[in-house]
Structure 1
């Protein structure tokens, strides 16, 4: 597969995966509502740095570890707990009205960009299907990319990351534009629902992790 072909197919596959609802999309919606457009790109920057590091780790020969049922099971358990914590925090803050719709930072970089980047990486780590994707589809792509060489790996990674930035940036833009017309009550309701979604998803991840570990 040529360099350009790797880039295009990686972008298409990555874009289709990014469009699927998941914890990162939920957190992206939450932070974009609270902090404006730049919250989304900063979250994905943390996600991108994590994926770049993972590619390096896989190339060093550690990719097979991710396919181990005990490892994936442990990731499911820990990730589920983390998602439940994120979700509980969101529902609690919305329920007790501890957060408000601040429209002053819509055009500027949000406060604590490092924390947003860290959250992007942590939410990705909390999703066991993220590691499963890299252990299967991602590993397969990397194997084919290595045939082309370092430029092939670079083209694959660039296409994949560009897909994430494109989709999540687009979502952040829409939310940042629309939040100017959003009432405080509706905002709190959206955050509350997003929090419940993360709690339910976290519980599912824990159940899947228990199954992989053959505890039950």
Structure 2
């Protein structure tokens, strides 16, 4: 569901770029705003991870299947995490935009084929990552997992602060 949210955001970006609004996303002001929002979002995510690790509210135990509202939230999270990631924006403002430009040489069908190939690769990659993660549950304890989540939360906060400092 998260990758679906990522894919929906990418589809919207591709449509926008194919129809000429690419200059908006390459604007330093817009990119800066998205980057700042992304840093705040990353710090908030890191805080939540640290809090979950400390409160022991995160576990590797199998969770109940979510309801449809939970699945819709995962789609929204996928779009938000992607859209606020500075690297996502940088990739689309450079490599992605050039890929759209090249695929547009074949017309809208070229852009459609680019999107289909790109999103299928995203699904294959993230399926491999989630499969590896779910199988890895047998390798570590809940305590170790909580420590990993806590440390990754600290890393994400440091990354959100450090990335902005590197840009100054």
Residues 96-146 of structure 1 deviation map (CA, whole Å, 9 limit, x = unaligned) = 2122222254xxx54411111111111111111211111111111111111
Distance 1:158 1:200 in 2: 35
TM-score normalised according to structure 2 size:
0.90
Match of 1:160 in 2: 118
Distance 2:139 2:145 in 1: 10
Q: Given that residues 43 and 116 in structure 1 are in contact (C-alpha distance below 8 angstroms), is that contact kept between their aligned partners in structure 2?
A: yes
Distance 2:31 2:129 in 1: 30
- Structure 2 residue runs without a partner (length 5+): none
Which of 74, 80, 84 aligns to 1:122? It is: 80
Which of 206, 211, 214 aligns to 2:164? It is: 206
Query: In structure 2, the residue corresponding to 1:180 is in which secondary structure?
Result: coil
Match of 2:34 in 1: 75
Aligned residues: 166
Distance 1:149 1:159 in 2: 16
Q: Aligned Cα RMSD in Å?
A: 1.7
Runs of 4+ off more than 6 Å: none
Distance 2:126 2:83 in 1: 17
> Is 1:138 matched up with 2:96?
yes
> Is 1:96 matched up with 2:61?
no
Match of 1:34 in 2: none
Distance 1:104 1:65 in 2: 42
Q: Given that residues 79 and 205 in structure 1 are in contact (C-alpha distance below 8 angstroms), is that contact kept between their aligned partners in structure 2?
A: no
